[in-house]
Chain A
């Protein structure tokens, strides 16, 4: 039986009087790819923010590799092996693509960062693994297409050597060709053993990529199962199309 890599239990987050996430529970197993879907504003990104501790939950627990991690800060969770990409790419605008990737590689140890010399061998390797060319690596992020910006985000997260990747709307704003390339890349990463949770509105692409889907609406879980089961679920249809 596969082990649970991440489990959230009764996770709740309130903004003012509104529950962005309400008693949400789900898990992802080691090596599994999980789709997290739901209409706009249903709490998907908030859930990612809670898992990464970019927001602090009001209630509930988050377990990673069996350990409750609520007390840990963002950088500590990254060191444990959770990493994320952002819905709107957040590159370091004045750094080159290589330097952007390097930020993910740099150890969180002051003395090492002072004495390090930048050779950039690992950056090139990681960049190449996500399809960035040597020319792309020399550029600054403003010169990149949306597809390459997504690749850069992915490269920076992969540089942290994650066990679990949280991918937030990775296909948004991409051309059909770019979606196909990125999808193939994620399949390769999955085959290499990477676990990921992926938020996307592109259900067709998602169908070919995920083992299981969790659906949220108004911050609450409304369905959990295989893509085929979930997509025919009455509650899911109502959430997307209305009654």
Chain B
């Protein structure tokens, strides 16, 4: 808990010492952290690997974009509707998960994303904006600092909520489902119910993130949302940070966003992705549980050696 407080205070002070350019990177990192946590609570915990998270994020983005653009619905109404729509879309993900898992499930979710990408362009383009999407959407807040605090608050509330939830027995059951779903059923638990909870929760987080992100950018387009690169950025952020930890994806999101940004002047275009691929491989090799493992080791060291706290496994003398 004290680490959360420390993190919140440090992040709250960032605008005092950062340029608006750096703050904008932080804003993107906060949104990526929300998306990566959404992925983590579903795929990291239950082991049902989603390749279709941009589908959920896009449903939220498009719902609020269309409502505000065409019907002039205020944000405080359009965003909750968008989140609800995403939760309904999340249950669409759930039905295949009743019968399939592993690679097959991942491919079905990928199909959700690809199909939606094409549908958004051809079905009623006067409503969806077609290939160009919709621009000129109302903004959540004006000014970089305000947007920073807004994104930070959303990220922290979601992070703390998920962290708290996954520390309860729900987290234990979802983790057990990842390890051996059959054995969880044999322990008398209805895994479908717990999976539905994880899917809906993940969709809720993706919905909140997607709607806020759309109104931060002020525009939305099919290529910007239902994109394979967007998907991989979310996946790598969650994996590089450390899956099924909730905290890991936040670390991964910050690391990845800043890495890509700081590589920009030195490495042109898509070559940057090669570098982050190599760095990801390096981290997996030496810390299979990602950055979370590294931070945890450092944290334990500080608590043990500097603060003098006893830890699990220490000899009691």
Identity of the chain B residue whose Cβ is nearest the Cβ of A166 in the assembled complex:
B186
Identity of the chain A residue whose Cβ is nearest the Cβ of B164 in the assembled complex:
A114
CB distance from B279 to the nearest CB of A (A): 26
Q: Is A92's CB under 8 angstroms from B169's CB? A: no
- Chain B contacts with A in 182-210, Cβ cutoff 8 A: 182-191, 193-194, 197
Interface size on A, residues (CB 8 A): 35
A30 within 8 A of B: no
Q: Is A114's CB under 8 angstroms from B165's CB? A: yes
Contacts A95-B172, A110-B197; A90 near B187 (Cβ below 8 A): no
B119 within 8 A of A: no
Identity of the chain B residue whose Cβ is nearest the Cβ of A117 in the assembled complex:
B168
Q: Is A79's CB under 8 angstroms from B188's CB? A: yes
Contacts A92-B176, A93-B179; A116 near B187 (Cβ below 8 A): no
Q: Identify the interface centre among A83, A103, A104: most chain B CB within 10 Å of its CB.
A: A103
Q: Is A90's CB under 8 angstroms from B169's CB? A: no
Residues in B neighbouring A54, C-beta threshold 8 A: 182, 185-186
Contacts A74-B185, A104-B187, A104-B188; A110 near B193 (Cβ below 8 A): yes
B219 within 8 A of A: no
Identity of the chain B residue whose Cβ is nearest the Cβ of A49 in the assembled complex:
B182
Q: Is B179's CB under 8 angstroms from A110's CB? A: no
Which one of A84, A92, A102, A159 lies within 8 Å of B180 (CB-CB)?
Answer: A92
By secondary structure, the B interface counts as: helix
Q: Is A73's CB under 8 angstroms from B176's CB? A: no
Q: Is A75's CB under 8 angstroms from B173's CB? A: no
Q: Is A113's CB under 8 angstroms from B188's CB? A: no
Residues in B neighbouring A84, C-beta threshold 8 A: 186
Complex Cα distance A185/B228, Å?
56
Interface size on B, residues (CB 8 A): 23
Q: Is B187's CB under 8 angstroms from A110's CB? A: no
Complex Cα distance A69/B194, Å?
23
Complex Cα distance A113/B165, Å?
9
Q: Is B179's CB under 8 angstroms from A75's CB? A: no
Complex Cα distance A79/B190, Å?
10
CB distance from A226 to the nearest CB of B (A): 31
- Chain B contacts with A in 149-175, Cβ cutoff 8 A: 165, 168-170, 172-173, 175
Contacts A90-B183, A92-B180, A95-B175; A106 near B189 (Cβ below 8 A): yes
User: Interface code A77-95, partner B: CB below 8 Å = 1, 0 otherwise?
Assistant: 0110001101000111111
Which one of A75, A112, A118, A159 lies within 8 Å of B185 (CB-CB)?
Answer: A75
Which one of A73, A78, A114 lies within 8 Å of B170 (CB-CB)?
Answer: A114
Q: Is A118's CB under 8 angstroms from B169's CB? A: yes
Residues in A neighbouring B187, C-beta threshold 8 A: 78, 103-104, 106, 156, 159-160
Residues in A neighbouring B190, C-beta threshold 8 A: 73, 75-76, 108
Complex Cα distance A110/B194, Å?
7
Residues in B neighbouring A114, C-beta threshold 8 A: 165, 168-170
Q: Is B186's CB under 8 angstroms from A74's CB? A: yes
A97 within 8 A of B: no
Residues in A neighbouring B165, C-beta threshold 8 A: 114
Q: Identify the interface centre among A75, A78, A79: most chain B CB within 10 Å of its CB.
A: A75
Q: Identify the interface centre among A106, A112, A156: most chain B CB within 10 Å of its CB.
A: A106
Identity of the chain B residue whose Cβ is nearest the Cβ of A84 in the assembled complex:
B186
Q: Is B179's CB under 8 angstroms from A94's CB? A: yes
A52 within 8 A of B: yes
9 contacts between A and B (CB under 8 A): A73-B190, A83-B186, A94-B175, A95-B175, A102-B172, A108-B190, A110-B170, A113-B173, A114-B169
Residues on A lying within 8 angstroms of B by beta carbon are 52, 54, 73-76, 78-79, 83-84, 86, 90-95, 99, 102-104, 106, 108, 110, 112-118, 156-157, 159-160
Known: A103-B172, A108-B193, A110-B194. 4 other contacts (CB 8 A): A75-B185, A92-B183, A108-B189, A112-B169
